[in-house]
Structure 1
């Protein structure tokens, strides 16, 4: 499960607070384009991190950027017709200052 490591924030160039979230998604989240949509939305919203399927049927994501953009990413996933998110476990993680890009991890 996700652990809370404490809150660490940094300021990006626009002066907006950066945060990092570790999220577990449950529901109909595998085999429905969840990871593809997550990567595309993360790129659109200038977020960094990764997403991967888990063997228990959940999807795990670590995402970093402005809180409002992370919320937009989640709304994008929730509005997809094939995806059904029943539950999310969300924890705060320390910001990774040197991270670039958003990618799909395999298992």
Structure 2
């Protein structure tokens, strides 16, 4: 059964290769969705931003990917991950690294 998880990854995850590393992890679990840096949601990420992602696939694959993501990439630090499980409203064909989302883009 197809399921979806919306993740907010909080910590030092911007400009440390986290999105590229996460994409490799996600592909290993055959998941689809997207990932992007987000700077404009300080109520979630704090003043330095964080990473938002949507994972879609089988529940056990999503859980495996989340456990890998909790470990973080070599140069990142994961402080917390907020996870919201959702019913899929669309079907993704692949896992995509999106452009950063920001009102005042910093890079």
Normalising by structure 2, what TM-score?
Answer: 0.74
1:29-70 deviation digits (Å, cap 9, x = unpaired): 111111101111111211010000011511000111122212
Partner of 1:50: 34
**For residues 106 and 97 of structure 1, what CA distance do their matches in structure 2 show?**
20
Task: Could you list the structure 1 runs, at least 4 aligned residues long, displaced by more than 3 angstroms after superposition.
Answer: none
**For residues 26 and 60 of structure 2, what CA distance do their matches in structure 1 show?**
12
- Report the aligned-residue RMSD: 1.6
Q: 1:38 and 1:96, CA in 2 relative to 1: closer, same or farther beyond 3 A?
A: farther
Partner of 1:102: 95
Partner of 1:82: 75
Bigger fraction of residues in helix: 2
Q: 1:46 and 1:105, CA in 2 relative to 1: closer, same or farther beyond 3 A?
A: same
Q: Which consecutive residues of structure 2, in runs of 5 or more, have no partner in the other structure?
A: 41-48, 101-107
* Distance apart, 1:96 and its partner CA: 4.2
| 1:20 and 1:63 in contact (8 A); partners too | yes
Partner of 1:21: 5
Q: Which consecutive residues of structure 1, in runs of 5 or more, have no partner in the other structure?
A: 1-10, 12-17
